[in-house]
Amino acid sequence: MMQETLNVMPPVVTVDPKIEDSWKQALTEEFSKEYFLRLKEFLLAERKAGQVFYPPGSLIFNAFACTPFHEVKIVLLGQDPYHGKGQAHGLCFSVPERVSLPPSLVNIFKELASDLQIPDPRHGNLEKWARQGVLLLNATLTVRANQAGSHQNKGWEDFTDAVIYSLSCQRTGIIFVLWGKYAKGKASLIDASKHHILMAAHPSPFSAHHGFFGCRHFSRINHLLTQMGKPAIVWALD
């Protein structure tokens, strides 16, 4: 007599990151994918080995906490968190108050002043922008202390690509701001028939004079928002 073989499926392993609920719903399938499980294992191994990485665990998903899925009006894409102590707090280009401004952020404020005559703020915390619908997204959400790019190609890029693609598919009228070659490479994830894409050189001192200065993206963003019947962004931080 032949015994019936039961096909017992292995249990599905899930990860429950502390991410804002609307994003958790939009990205729910990502957290059980193999790349995300490998990413979690990598971060746990880093911590077990005594490696310090930034931002602190509670701020890794800060961009999502500040800008829920259905409130995103603009996506500003960075590449890597700042790798100095106390700098990264989960928002691209941003630093907490009372932290010295990194060179790229200095140049961002220079362009803002030139474009909209907004004087340099007293700090570099861009959370006010995030609360108005500017998703300040780094492609890689963590970095080892003092080692730029050290957490690249570990799975974060797959996750943040899914973020961009989900916004492109599920929303309309978002303004994607792509500064520099790396960010411009993400344009293929965006449906340009439904969204706006603004591209320029990176604000780094190495490239800002080759197309970032003079791009006037801040005024162009507000013009596009007004055309769509949405409130303009208040760029002044003070």
Number of C-beta neighbours around residue 59 at 10 A = 17
Question: Which of 80, 120, 158, 238 is an active site residue?
Answer: 80
- Asked whether the CA dihedral 237, 187, 29, 158 is positive or negative, the reply is negative
**Amino acid in the structure at residue 8:** V
Residue 80 annotated in active site: yes
- Which residues are tagged catalytic? 80
